[in-house]
Structure 1
């Protein structure tokens, strides 16, 4: 889900959900092929698994797939793939494919980073496989700069987080228009073939390559839209599919309308409202805690909300070093994604800013960082933008975004301003995907889908999970009464238990089942040094 220009997570395990993504000048717009055009079959790519150079517990491979599935015999591209074999000897049940979201999340990096977050039984019984989607990371990637130095210079030339004032708005719009021009000059053909539907076809190629007759899949954040697309392109191939923190497919595709959209993808999804509601919970719970547990607490919920509003007013007029209002709002929204330690760290940064000092660098993790078994790739703004902008309709006039910002701020405050600008780069992106999929979403699947929704999600609000269940032909909703973006990164033993049962034998949770996170925000320490969990993480309750 989103941050400072694109919400590629800065901390270990953070999720990407295209935020202030990317765009450029409206040059040549390509139009998608008709939905009824038949796609010829392509042979499954061979996977020559070898131990990854930097992580022998993982295996790496490269898959070659067609750039254009309508013309599979012409150009091919490469997909970087990573695998961790099932750990239970003699008990392997198949392969679980994982997409970490984004769009633009590099699975070869994020799956190893988050491997321990998968349920133990799933790790024992399934090979877990992920990949960098086409256009991303170590795969054939959209890269619009000749060097990392050039990319860094481009990033430094635009406002952080969101633009404030006419001068910054002009600079923002010009920067993303320039990015689009650069991208079209580098590889315009690739830009037309990085849609979600293209990636869904890649996923089916990988399924065939590992020899599974049907797909077992976990998609989080944007990965839920990828899963829904796969389920409707290949409904008979769905063995088990968990969609965690859901994108409303109708909102993403603008309800399959060819009319110019009035709102951006994120405003249609309600990301602004979800972030505002989650921020309100953060401030309420912080205010209910002593400063020893939440540094920004003002001794009460209202007082803490008032303190936050006053800080935002201050930063508009007087930034603290390079911590501008725009950068701070972007940081706040992104920090809401992962509750532990994200919310505690955020409170500390806000208190530093309140006291007029630069926030201290994040403390080193008490545990060594998870080794990444592959070279950490370049994942610039243009990679998430290429997918979002070609896939999801966005207003094409950059001049309307200030009005969208003001309208969003009326009902979602500072978070509304952030999400209003998050997709502005798409206003000037040069292409539309050649083969995107826009529905229908109710093709009967071979097996039902499990949909997980978190009640306070700052990027894909709970309403998205409700919409996904309504759209799919057969799906069951599991409600996580918690906070943050995805249950995978905000652990709940209850959610893990139901996911494990479902992946292993297809058993769905009872209708109406709810779960809670293992540890609430700003927990009180137990007398002997333990953490009070609130007792909600180990069993579901009927709502």
Structure 2
């Protein structure tokens, strides 16, 4: 999950680049009444020795040593890979802004440089922007359950793509993730128990101290919003400014802090399936309302385009196009909705190729800025280690087929995708030793800004409404638009409000709503640009 679909390393790597454009037991964790467990013994701030990431790079890199277990700070330590882009106007620099790109499992050392051009200009001028690979991820001390890259590749290719479709594929999928859990448990079981969101929030507080900031300024997107909410409630007096973009309902993530077995998966509790279904409907409606010159999959009208899509999926169930099976295609569709430009246009071209019986051409990927860890290992087990140990999911693999049918009835094909995205947790071997499950309303030193996009295929707008209502002092900024995160689907209006808030603490008025700069399938302008639709309105808070 930038929340970015099923917890697969391949999916996260693709999302990281595209963003430039664009348990066998119930996982209950500690006593929900204990706010993160007993107070942790103090751990000293790590020393960061910054150096250029690579010769000529504008980014600096460092590593930080932190305790594996904050309840035993003098025990085993792990390493965090950290990256910084200094403020571009150092004379007007006002501090450090920490950034988490989501996931769980998003490698900040890769994704922050890729996403950096999308940060508001004023923010880039005034802040050093710092990110890191969270514990267990990427170039930090990482969860890696395979002896060789070849073993990892063989495991990936041995399971169904997207999600399993029939009984044989379901058995293969469940067996593959059971095997993954066993491999991980053999290699480093101690690490698996100490990669929770609460552990990472404590790492973030040490990094804040390491850069000399008395309080935290933070931007988190997708899963990074849950990390931010956790930090805000573990360390409420240390919040200076916090922007949470495309938010997770913390009660849904924690199964409402119940000790009862969860009846739904995390993603179904969040409503990710409903958000994806609504966004897919918008994609097909907007595509059908325009010409094939702007949306290659258009059938000349919204209903005809929806019918064409349904017919394509029925055909792929029986007759895949090469490796493009029904399951792979539905997964690609949900993931393709994340980035409006050029993601929706590229998705329409892939669907049209499949309609014509052709294997879709791969979408061109932009060159990434030079960073020191350009290709860290990002296997499925890294996201699973955080997600499955942190958030409760049904522990019986046998119930997921029925859950799939339930979700498909309410959300169509997207429900099948999001149901199986959480199934790896059914046989995951570890529970977080120290998780945080609430409360979520501790008064923070300064208010929090929550941003929600109205058509988000992963973290629906209802999650932003819920988080803004849960936090003690928060303001909801509505982004009328499409895709996952306002950062990667920009609105100059949202950027302006975020900049004012981060720089001088000014919140947007209650009920403020912004529009996306560029609507779907926009007509090209004569200059080569596209028609835009940015702007803001104010009214009652949704």
Match of 1:398 in 2: 397
1:219 Cα deviation after fit? 0.2
Query: Does residue 386 of structure 1 match 2:385?
Result: yes
1:68 Cα deviation after fit? 0.3
Query: Helix, strand or coil for the counterpart of 1:82?
Result: strand
Residues 27 and 389 in structure 2, CA contact (< 8 A), matched pair in contact too: no
Q: Aligned partners of 1:27, 1:413: CA distance in 2, in Å?
A: 29
Match of 2:4 in 1: 2
Residues 441 and 471 in structure 1, CA contact (< 8 A), matched pair in contact too: yes
1:234 Cα deviation after fit? 0.1
Query: Does residue 377 of structure 1 match 2:376?
Result: yes
Match of 2:30 in 1: 32
Cα 1:146/1:50, change in 2 over 3 Å: same
Match of 2:425 in 1: 426
1:11 Cα deviation after fit? 5.0
User: TM-score if structure 2 supplies the norm length?
Assistant: 0.95
Match of 2:286 in 1: 285
1:147 Cα deviation after fit? 1.0
Match of 1:236 in 2: 237
1:158 Cα deviation after fit? 0.3
User: TM-score if structure 1 supplies the norm length?
Assistant: 0.95
Output one character per residue of 1:246-294: Cα deviation in whole Å (capped at 9) or x when no partner. 0000000000001100000000000000000000000000000100000
Q: Aligned partners of 2:28, 2:68: CA distance in 1, in Å?
A: 16
Residues 54 and 373 in structure 1, CA contact (< 8 A), matched pair in contact too: no
Match of 1:471 in 2: 470
Q: Aligned partners of 1:256, 1:179: CA distance in 2, in Å?
A: 27
Residues 398 and 424 in structure 1, CA contact (< 8 A), matched pair in contact too: yes
Cα 1:161/1:14, change in 2 over 3 Å: same
Match of 2:126 in 1: 125
5+ residue gaps in structure 1? 17-22
Match of 2:162 in 1: 161
Residues 55 and 374 in structure 1, CA contact (< 8 A), matched pair in contact too: no
Match of 1:506 in 2: 505
What is the number of residues matched between the two proteins? 531
Match of 2:445 in 1: 446
Cα 1:31/1:295, change in 2 over 3 Å: closer
5+ residue gaps in structure 2? none
Match of 1:193 in 2: 194
1:361 Cα deviation after fit? 2.0
State how 1:19-168 maps to structure 2 within 5 Å: 26=24, 32=30, 35=35, 36-53=37-54, 56-168=57-169
Query: Does residue 537 of structure 1 match 2:539?
Result: no
Residues 4 and 327 in structure 1, CA contact (< 8 A), matched pair in contact too: no
Cα 1:219/1:175, change in 2 over 3 Å: same
Cα 1:350/1:85, change in 2 over 3 Å: same
Residues 247 and 269 in structure 1, CA contact (< 8 A), matched pair in contact too: yes
Residues 5 and 458 in structure 2, CA contact (< 8 A), matched pair in contact too: no
Match of 2:247 in 1: 246
Match of 1:329 in 2: 330
1:454 Cα deviation after fit? 0.0
TM-align CA RMSD: 1.7
Match of 1:19 in 2: none
Output one character per residue of 1:359-415: Cα deviation in whole Å (capped at 9) or x when no partner. 1122465xx443334342001100000000000000000000000001100010010
Q: Aligned partners of 2:29, 2:496: CA distance in 1, in Å?
A: 44
State how 1:300-315 maps to structure 2 within 5 Å: 300-315=301-316
Residues 54 and 371 in structure 2, CA contact (< 8 A), matched pair in contact too: no
Residues 245 and 460 in structure 1, CA contact (< 8 A), matched pair in contact too: yes
1:537 Cα deviation after fit? 1.5
State how 1:402-421 maps to structure 2 within 5 Å: 402-421=401-420
Query: Helix, strand or coil for the counterpart of 2:92?
Result: coil
Query: Helix, strand or coil for the counterpart of 1:349?
Result: helix
Q: Aligned partners of 2:537, 2:329: CA distance in 1, in Å?
A: 37
Q: Aligned partners of 1:80, 1:268: CA distance in 2, in Å?
A: 33
1:8 Cα deviation after fit? 1.0
Output one character per residue of 1:17-74: Cα deviation in whole Å (capped at 9) or x when no partner. xxxxxx7xx3898953754422111110110111112662111000000000000001
1:223 Cα deviation after fit? 0.1
Q: Aligned partners of 2:480, 2:317: CA distance in 1, in Å?
A: 34
Q: Aligned partners of 2:58, 2:115: CA distance in 1, in Å?
A: 14
Output one character per residue of 1:61-91: Cα deviation in whole Å (capped at 9) or x when no partner. 0000000000000100000000010110311
Residues 56 and 373 in structure 1, CA contact (< 8 A), matched pair in contact too: no
Residues 94 and 126 in structure 1, CA contact (< 8 A), matched pair in contact too: yes
Q: Aligned partners of 2:478, 2:92: CA distance in 1, in Å?
A: 30
Query: Helix, strand or coil for the counterpart of 1:453?
Result: strand
Q: Aligned partners of 1:74, 1:127: CA distance in 2, in Å?
A: 32
Q: Aligned partners of 1:58, 1:363: CA distance in 2, in Å?
A: 25
Output one character per residue of 1:414-440: Cα deviation in whole Å (capped at 9) or x when no partner. 100000100000000001100000000
Cα 1:244/1:14, change in 2 over 3 Å: farther
Query: Helix, strand or coil for the counterpart of 1:102?
Result: coil
Query: Helix, strand or coil for the counterpart of 2:90?
Result: coil
Q: Aligned partners of 1:524, 1:542: CA distance in 2, in Å?
A: 30
Match of 1:346 in 2: 347
Q: Aligned partners of 1:439, 1:474: CA distance in 2, in Å?
A: 16
1:302 Cα deviation after fit? 0.5
Match of 1:357 in 2: 358
